[in-house]
């Protein structure tokens, strides 16, 4: 009988990989996510935008916030958003907080498309990791993302749970001191462009 071998149980390397080798593996892994994209599929940038608008909170569903998240120019981000609107996967809505800008929402067709997200395959593989490995991966990725954001002077995206602007000291819903808004429970884990890591901001 052939023994099943998990794709995540490759033999340990003889010597630890160097930092550069690990960096190359991270980039290669990211490329593999879209390696078998269908001919009629979305581009990696369109997938990133669709995921972003599905996960971003009501203060961050704008092309400019997406441009910062994707580390690209506002013009390029706007073109990507426009292409998703043309495909019927995003729709433009008035921004009630700021009449000069618009918010973009994922349409039902966009949510249906996200069910085919090629990133899901990587998520499934991560799910097979032991809990201890997942925790270590989460810690390492968080440190690396934060470090690269500081090196590139790029904003760090996060959610209310870890944000220094979030005040949970009062009875009832949490309060965002940055946007001066009450936060619904369902918003607490959404991506936010105004996020400030709790340890770098005002104490809660």
| Positions that interact with ligand SF4 (CB under 6 A) | 57, 59, 159-160, 163, 165-166, 176, 178-179, 192, 194-195
DSSP string, 24-89: HHHHHHHHHHTTT--TTS--HHHHHHHHHHHHB-TTT-SHHHHHHHTT--HHHHHHHHHHHHHTTS
Placement of tokens 């809660």 in the chain: 204
Shortest distance in whole angstroms from residue 107 CB to ligand SF4: 24
> Which is closer to ligand SF4, CB of 89 or CB of 191?
191
The DSSP secondary-structure symbol of 5 reads: -
Question: For the chain, how many residues are written?
Answer: 204
> Which is closer to ligand SF4, CB of 117 or CB of 167?
167
> Which is closer to ligand SF4, CB of 59 or CB of 66?
59
> Which is closer to ligand SF4, CB of 117 or CB of 194?
194
The helix/strand/coil state of 100 is: coil
Shortest distance in whole angstroms from residue 186 CB to ligand SF4: 12
Shortest distance in whole angstroms from residue 158 CB to ligand SF4: 6
Distance between CA atoms of residues 162 and 189, nearest Å: 9
Shortest distance in whole angstroms from residue 203 CB to ligand SF4: 14
């Amino acid at each position: 009988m052939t023994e099943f071998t998990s794709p995540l149980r490759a033999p340990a390397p003889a010597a630890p990989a160097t930092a550069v080798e690990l960096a190359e593996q991270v980039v290669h892994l990211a490329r593999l996510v879209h390696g078998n994209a269908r001919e009629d599929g979305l581009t990696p940038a369109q997938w990133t935008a669709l995921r972003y608008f599905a996960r971003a909170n009501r203060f961050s569903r704008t092309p400019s916030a997406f441009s910062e998240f994707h580390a690209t120019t506002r013009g390029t981000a706007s073109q990507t958003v426009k292409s998703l609107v043309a495909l019927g996967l995003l729709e433009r809505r008035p921004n009630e907080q700021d009449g000069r800008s618009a918010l973009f929402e994922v349409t039902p067709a966009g949510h249906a498309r996200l069910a085919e997200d090629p990133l899901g395959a990587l998520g499934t593989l991560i799910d097979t990791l032991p809990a201890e490995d997942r925790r270590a991966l989460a810690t390492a990725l968080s440190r690396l993302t934060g470090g690269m954001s500081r090196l590139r002077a790029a904003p760090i995206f996060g959610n209310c749970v870890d944000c220094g602007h979030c005040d949970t000291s009062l009875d009832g819903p949490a309060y965002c001191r940055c946007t001066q808004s009450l936060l619904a429970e369902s918003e607490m884990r959404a991506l936010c462009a105004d996020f400030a890591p709790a340890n770098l901001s005002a104490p809660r």
